[in-house]
Structure 1
């Protein structure tokens, strides 16, 4: 394989510790192909909002960490852009190709709580910090009597809030803690039966310009087919539900051994913001039809009432799942 360029491949990244660590991991993979790399730090609108303390809520969070990196990519300032895949909008971006989805980290959520406690051990009324409507709704649905409070900032800021007693616990993605070497600070890893993660959580997305054919060809070998199938299914769930549902959404797809061949197993949930109502479903299918499996599952959820869950209100007639 010949190098697609004589100069170093410029890898665009956000400036946070987690982002530069993730991008460094991708740069190492690219270097393994015999290509030189350099990291180029880009400040995104999402980073500026965090620094200013501006809240990011609901669907407005989608894409706020992505657009500046894509702009730099399309302007020729960088050759690759590295994102947390869960931040990536589900609609395509003209001129940009998702070229690599590397092997995924553990996608589950974790608890970081005072005194080493789990969620179930926290006293009623304990303050749990999260900036995610998905996590907030599922926390309420667990019925543990916890007070959910908004919290912003990077991983260190959120964990410090626990250490300083501002909150009793925070919820975070295990993948982020693992990538910066702090996974031992988690006091509980949450079973997806308790909290389904965000679609794409734990996975990275590597984008490059669609017309950079040499680089596209060179990087194709880094794509992980199993991770790609799983996140394609999860993103199909999200994209389909977004068309008729403003509710918090969780989804997780896994490739499992079937009777004759591997199967893709997808679980998804949509909830009212207060967690009182939800539609939870699962589906199986071929990994080769990952998008179709996810889209059909989401259509079934919409038919069962998921589209009525965006705002708290009266019980829906179909799809109401009482939460214990």
Structure 2
């Protein structure tokens, strides 16, 4: 009987992890570590690493749970998203809300255990994490709001280590923000017809798919330049720039996968290429720090 209850709890946990797409934490968490490492400049504080990880897991959980809860009626109408957990009734709205509150609890716990600035910035973080899901209801700039929200992870890592802002922190924030905005624009091309017919705002719906792909390319070009600038501002070594070079190649490859008349490989461009980008920046920054 006990094993049955354990199996049921494990199955429920899997549902929750699927609901919030926990694997997508790989987009932002590595950049929080990059910000932390560049700020630490060779120092290692296990406590800071632990609390940054807790903060990122909490923020990601809260943001995605709220996103699913806020958007579930729109998701139910969209053929691409109708199979998600809330539209299918696999998870209840109250469970999703509790999951979001638990995420905010983890974020708060971590922020209070890092430094005074992370604690003071906590309300700002909660505001952005809560509101970005609403922006698609009134502006095609929603992708940039998402980028600004997730990109804060890189600055957050820096602030967690130093307790202060610095130009490099803002540059990293901008780089990740434009990267996120660019691939969110790519991802939104899938819903071009649905968004236009249901008054859901997005850059592709407003300007067309071809124009949206061009904007995404320019955003990712700017991302690459900003990563170079971040390295220069922090005195990064050659291994960091090897990572930036690799990121440039992956970004080019990502944009070869998506064409105005062929969006069939958008998921490959969205998940696989972007995981390579985030993990490459993490590992090459780590190697650079360890070999200085």
TM-score, normalised via structure 2 length: 0.30
Higher relative contact order (CA 8 A, sep 6+): 2
- Larger strand proportion of the pair: 1
- Larger helix proportion of the pair: 2
TM-score, normalised via structure 1 length: 0.28
